[in-house]
Structure 1
C-alpha cells in the first residue's frame, strides 16, 4: 500500500531544532569541560535529571524563555553538584544560550522554506514553556505545538504523536516526524503510523532497522528527504 502524499512535518525540539543530534545532557557535559570543570558523565547525570524534574515543577515555568530557562536549569544542576560559583553559572548559561541561538539562526531559513510546502508542528518532552520558547525563536509558523507538560503525555508514548495527528486533522501516514532520539522519536512515531527521520551523528549505531525511517546527520539534509 502506498503512503498518502506528505502533508505535514513534525519536529522534536531539544537536540533537533536547537542542535544537530546533540542532547542537552551531552551539550552541558561539553560546556563544563569548556569551562574547565572536570566532570564525568556519571557525575553529571543525576544532577542534570534532578534539575530537569525540579524545573518542571517551577510554578512560573510556562513563561520561561531561553535565558531564564537555561539559568534555572544550570543553577539547579550546580546545586545538586554542590557548586556555588556564580561566575560558573554565568559562563555556562551564556555558552548554552549562544550555541542555541546559533542553531536557531542556522535552522530558521530551512524551516521557513519547508513551511511553504508543508504544515509544521513540534512534539517535545518539555516543561510547559515550549510555546514561549518557540515564540522567542521565531523559527517558522508552527500550527501545532505539543508540549508534554501541557498535554499530560510524554514520549515515548505513541499517543503523543496520535494527538499531534488529530490536532492537524491528518492521517498519521501523511505526517513525517523528525527527531534525534531513536527510542523517544523514531520508534513511537512509526508505531503511531507516521513516517520518521532519525537525526543522528554519522557514527551513531542504529539500534534496529525499521521500515519508513530515513537517517540524516543534519537538518540541512531534510529538504532532500521531503522533496
Structure 2
C-alpha cells in the first residue's frame, strides 16, 4: 500500500512513462502512421514494429550519441523497409518520405509532453533523490540530454549498459542500491505492469502504475499500489505545490 509519509526516493521508468504519458510507443507510432495515411493494416504495422525491435536487439545501429529523433528515424526506416520487403507497402517516391514525417511527428509529440512534465519532475527532484531505470538502446543519456532531463536524476540504470533487462527484478535492485535506501521507502513509477510494477514489487518497492494505451500485454486484473492515467496526477499524489 502506498504511504507518502514513508517515501524517501523515487525510481522512474523512461520510455512510455515520461516520454509518452503512459502510451505504449507502438500505439504512438501507429497513430502517426494513420495521420500520415500509410496504407497498411494495424496487423501489418505490428509485425513490422516487432521486426524492428528484434533487429535492434541484435544489431548496433543505435549509437550512444543518437538522440530520440535519430532513434525514431532508425526504427521507422526499419519498419517501412520491412513493409516494402514483405510487399505490404509499395516502394515508390511517396512511401520514401513516410519515415521522415512519422519520426518528426513522434519526436515533437514526446518533446511537447516532456515540456509539460518538467514542472512535476523538478518539484519531485527538489524533494527526493531520483534514479531512472530503463530498457533502452545504449543512448538514453543522449536522449535525456536532448530533452533537458538529465538534471532530474541522480543516476541512470540502462539495460544496454548494465546487461540486465526488465522484467528481471535485478535491474530494479540496481536502482534500489543506487538510492541506498530501504526498498520499502522507494516508489517505482512506470507504464508497464509486467515490466515495471511486478519486478518493482518483488524488490519490496511501492508502486505507481501510469496506465495508458498499452499493447494488450497486461492482465485486465493487474493493479498497483496506485493506478493513474495521466502523469500530471503525480502532483496531487505527492502533494506538490
Q: TM-score, normalised by structure 2?
A: 0.86
Once the two structures are superposed, residues 57-89 of structure 1 have per-residue CA deviations (whole angstroms, 9 ceiling, x without a partner) of 225522211111111111011111115533211
SS in 1 for 2:227: strand
- Structure 1: which 5+ runs fail to align? none
**Match of 1:186?**
197
**Match of 1:146?**
157
CA, structure 1 residues 26+155, in 2 after alignment: closer, same or farther (shift >3 Å)?
same
Does structure 2 retain, via aligned residues, the 8 Å contact 1:186–1:213?
Answer: no
The match for 1:214 among 203, 222, 226 is 226
Once the two structures are superposed, residues 18-52 of structure 1 have per-residue CA deviations (whole angstroms, 9 ceiling, x without a partner) of 11211110111111110011333321122112212
* 1:100 lines up with 2:113 in the alignment: no
SS in 1 for 2:156: strand
Number of residue pairs aligned between Structure 1 and Structure 2:
226
Does structure 1 retain, via aligned residues, the 8 Å contact 2:210–2:229?
Answer: yes
SS in 2 for 1:50: helix
Does structure 2 retain, via aligned residues, the 8 Å contact 1:55–1:72?
Answer: no
Does structure 2 retain, via aligned residues, the 8 Å contact 1:197–1:213?
Answer: yes
**Match of 2:54?**
53
SS in 1 for 2:130: strand
Does structure 2 retain, via aligned residues, the 8 Å contact 1:55–1:61?
Answer: no
- The Cα shift of 1:209 comes to 5.7
**Match of 1:112?**
122
SS in 1 for 2:15: coil
CA, structure 1 residues 224+175, in 2 after alignment: closer, same or farther (shift >3 Å)?
same
* 1:223 lines up with 2:235 in the alignment: yes
**Whole-angstrom CA distance in 1 between matches of 2:2 and 2:120:** 27
Q: TM-score, normalised by structure 1?
A: 0.91
**Match of 1:66?**
68
**Match of 1:123?**
133
Does structure 1 retain, via aligned residues, the 8 Å contact 2:24–2:212?
Answer: no
Does structure 1 retain, via aligned residues, the 8 Å contact 2:167–2:199?
Answer: yes
- The Cα shift of 1:136 comes to 1.4
* 1:76 lines up with 2:89 in the alignment: no
CA, structure 1 residues 28+209, in 2 after alignment: closer, same or farther (shift >3 Å)?
closer
Once the two structures are superposed, residues 85-125 of structure 1 have per-residue CA deviations (whole angstroms, 9 ceiling, x without a partner) of 33211110110111011011111111011111011121111
* 1:199 lines up with 2:199 in the alignment: no
SS in 2 for 1:145: strand
Does structure 2 retain, via aligned residues, the 8 Å contact 1:29–1:39?
Answer: no
- Structure 2: which 5+ runs fail to align? none
Higher relative CO (CA 8 A, sep ≥ 6), structure 1 or 2?
A: 2
